Amino acid sequence: MKSVVVLGGYGNFGRRIVEALAREPDVRVFVAGRDLKQATAVAQEIGGAAEPLRLDAHAGDFTAELRKAGATLVVHTAGPFQGQNYSIPQACVAAGTHYIDLADGRGFVCGITALDAEAKLNGTLVVSGASSVPALSSAVVDALGAQFASIESIDHGISSGARPPGKATMDGVLAYAGKPFKQWRDGQWHQVRGWQDLTRRSYPTPIKGRWIANCDVPDLDLFPERYRGVQTVQFRAGVDPASNMIALWFASWLVRIGVLASLQSWVPTLHRTASALARYGSKRSAMHVTVRGVALNGEPAVRSWFLLADQDHGPFIPCFPAIALARKLVRDEISIRGAMPCMGLLTVDDIISVGEGLDLRVVCG
Q: How many residues does the chain have?
A: 365
Total tally of structural domains belonging to the chain: 2
Q: Do residues 156 and 224 share a domain?
A: yes
Per-residue pLDDT for 322 more than 90?
Answer: yes
Residue 277 has a pLDDT of: 85
pLDDT tens column, 221-253: 999 999 999 999 999 999 999 999 999 999 999
Q: Are 9 and 33 contacting, i.e. CB atoms less than 8 angstroms apart? A: yes
User: Under 8 Å CB-to-CB from 118, ≥6 apart: which residues?
Assistant: 90, 93, 339
Backbone angles phi, psi at 88, to 5 degrees: -70, -55
Note the pLDDT tens digit of each residue in 253-312.
999 999 999 999 999 999 898 888 888 889 999 999 999 999 999 999 999 999 999 999
- In this structure, the answer to whether residues 125 and 137 fall within a common structural domain is no
| CATH assignment of the domain containing 33 | 3.40.50.720
Backbone angles phi, psi at 293, to 5 degrees: 170, -150
Reported confidence tier of residue 137, pLDDT bands at 50, 70, 90 = very high
Q: Are residues 298 and 161 in the same domain?
A: yes
HSE, CB side, 13 Å, CA atoms: give it for residue 266.
16
Residues forming a β-bridge with 306: 288, 363
Neighbours of 299 (CB within 10 A): 8
Same domain, 54 and 193: no
Look up the CATH number of the domain holding residue 205: 3.30.360.10
Whether residues 87 and 206 fall in one domain: no
From 131, 70, 67, select the one nearest 101 (Cα to Cα): 131
Both 188 and 273 in one domain: the answer is yes
Percent of the chain with pLDDT over 70: 100
Q: Are residues 138 and 197 in the same domain?
A: yes
Is the distance from CB of 360 to CB of 285 less than 8 angstroms? no
Proportion of the chain above pLDDT 90, given as a percent: 92
Cβ distance 341 to 109 under 8 Å? Answer: yes
Neighbours of 58 (CB within 10 A): 12
Question: Is residue 333 domain-shared with residue 225, that is, in the same domain?
Answer: no
* In-domain check, residue 218: yes
Contact of 235 with 215, CB cutoff 8 Å: yes
> For residue 363, is it within any domain?
no
Would residue 365 count as lying in a domain? no
pTM above 0.75, yes or no: yes
Name the residue among 132, 149, 135 with its Cα closest to residue 303: 149
Q: Are residues 74 and 223 in the same domain?
A: no
142-167 tens-digit pLDDT: 999 999 999 999 999 999 999 888 88
> Do residue 287 and residue 180 come from a single domain?
yes
Structural domain containing residue 343? 2-132+316-358
What mean pLDDT do residues 89-108 have? 97
Q: Which of 299, 314, 329 is the last residue of a domain?
A: 314
In a domain, 243, yes or no: yes
